[in-house]
Amino acid sequence: MRRSVAVGVVAVGLVPGFLAAQQADWPQFRGPTGMGVSTAQGLPVKWGPNENLAWKVAPPGPGTSSPIVVGDKIILTCYTGFNVPGQRGRMEDLRLHVVCYRSSDGSQLWSQELKPKLPEQDRIREEHGYASSTPVSDGQRIYAFFGKSGVFAFDLAGKPLWHADVGGGLNGWGSAASPVIFGELVIVNASVESESLVALNRKTGAEVWRARGIQEAWNTPVLVPAGKGKTELVVAIPRQLLAFDPATGKRLWSCDTDIGWYMVPSVVAHQGTIWAIGGRSGVAALAVRAGGMGDVTQSHRLWTGRHGSNVSSPVVYDGHLFWVNDNLGVAHCAKAETGELVYAERLDRGGQFYASALLADGKLYYVSRSGKTFVLPAKPQFQLLAVNDLQDGSTFNASPAVAGRRLLLRSNRFLYCIGGH
């Protein structure tokens, strides 16, 4: 990896207090901070079809969204009726679903069926389908984003509260990014639907602000503490990282990435530094200091590197950046301060990894599309602790979630709860 400017980096390392408090909830994509980090301890390391499996349920239909956890409730989205893997069906029969399960035993608490706004995308590549955005909860309501069909709000008992339209655009990959919450706002990356970031009042669904020019941005925005009580909303578009004031939508800064591809992985951040990966070749990773104004490429970009991933997002821990390449099945570790590669070790020859990395209890969990989960210590020395295979023949695109001391894994056919009580 190479440096682009000679600027020092704040030392990196998750310490007690990196999360404000131990949180049992997993309320959004990649957990409480959106960084793929859990403070839970005692999570399972080994499991299989007949080992360490608490329960398994079959949702009404497929989906690639991840489950979220709110108290004793697990919520996820799915779809039925059209382009279900192996079943073409009719577009007019397409239905969208938000389903809630009890975390202790997997019993269904409630389900809401929604009619989509048609016409939808006729075909979606790799069967990603029409339920790919992970819901988000503020502890009082649940917000589910279904692309062209909009954002739907429910209370925790499943009662519909409001619906908002954020644009009507379509794409052959479908929609992707998940909503996030800032204060009284639900913020949606509607790049596919309207090339915009859209902020909605979380109580009413009314639009509060809209930032345009968000093209080919497949990643979920991340809220980054930037010092002096300020927070930045960071999203990646082709060749640039952009930061906005999440309260107003005002653009704060941009940074050239030198990555010549659209960006799918979400960024991660710690102590004022942001790391992003993406692309297929050439420059595929970079680090940037938060807190700038205008074009910060020369002043705040710390380094760029040539190892990354074009789908799965990384985690940062104890001075190192960890991720697995989506197409090569290679696990990477790099020094967060410099980008220097520490190791690159193959996990699964020919295997793909679309799920983002999970860090919990000092361990890394990498879930392949075939349903294998590779468990590694979050250390700069490569070691394989376990390879767990659910062997159900389905496809795992969703990122793992944490419910207490259990793991939640979602395929296009099942939701698994793994671990003891």
82-106 pLDDT, tens per residue?
A: 999 989 999 999 999 999 999 999 9
**What's the domain count of the chain?**
1
CA 102 from centroid of its chain's CA atoms: 23
Kind and range of the H or E element at 298? helix 297-300
Q: Is the pLDDT at 5 greater than 80, yes or no?
A: no
**Better-predicted residue by pLDDT, 353 or 281:** 353
Please state, in angstroms and rounded to a whole number, the distance separating the CA atoms of residues 410 and 317: 25
Contact 197, 245 (CB under 8 A): no
β-pair type (180-182, 185-190): antiparallel
**Residue 51 belongs to domain spanning:** 2-418
Please state, in angstroms and rounded to a whole number, the distance separating the CA atoms of residues 303 and 251: 23
276-315 pLDDT, tens per residue?
A: 999 888 999 999 999 999 999 999 999 999 999 999 999 9
246-259 pLDDT, tens per residue?
A: 999 999 999 999 99
Is residue 169 packed enough to be buried (19+ CB in 10 Å), middle (13-18) or exposed (0-12)? middle
Please state, in angstroms and rounded to a whole number, the distance separating the CA atoms of residues 408 and 29: 13
Share above pLDDT 90 across residues of the chain, in percent, rounded to a whole number: 88
Q: Is the pLDDT at 67 greater than 90, yes or no?
A: yes
| Strand stretches in 81-184, DSSP E | 82-84, 87-89, 95-102, 108-114, 136-137, 141-145, 151-155, 160-164, 180-182
CA 42 from centroid of its chain's CA atoms: 23
Placement of tokens 């299989």 in the chain: 48
Contact 194, 211 (CB under 8 A): no
**Closest by Cα among 168, 76, 154 to 116:** 168
Give the pLDDT of residue 421: 59
State the number of CA atoms in the 13 A half-sphere of 127 facing the CB: 19
Give the pLDDT of residue 8: 30
**Better-predicted residue by pLDDT, 391 or 62:** 62
Dihedral Cα 181, 275, 310, 68, nearest 10 deg: -30
Residues 6+ apart with CB under 8 A from 264: 176, 218, 219, 278, 310, 311
Q: What is the mean pLDDT of the chain?
A: 93
Please state, in angstroms and rounded to a whole number, the distance separating the CA atoms of residues 114 and 110: 13
How many other C-beta atoms lie within 10 A of the C-beta of residue 116? Answer: 20
pLDDT band with cut points at 50, 70 and 90 for residue 159 = very high
Vertex 390 angle, CA 386 and 393, to 5°: 135
Q: Is the pLDDT at 208 greater than 70, yes or no?
A: yes
19-51 pLDDT, tens per residue?
A: 333 357 999 999 999 999 999 999 999 999 999
Please state, in angstroms and rounded to a whole number, the distance separating the CA atoms of residues 83 and 303: 43
The CATH number covering residue 313 comes to: 2.130.10.10
Residues 6+ apart with CB under 8 A from 372: 348, 351, 387, 388, 389
Contact 45, 386 (CB under 8 A): yes
Dihedral Cα 74, 144, 233, 215, nearest 10 deg: 130
Please state, in angstroms and rounded to a whole number, the distance separating the CA atoms of residues 66 and 84: 18
Please compute the mean of the pLDDT values over residues 324-330 and round it to a whole number: 95
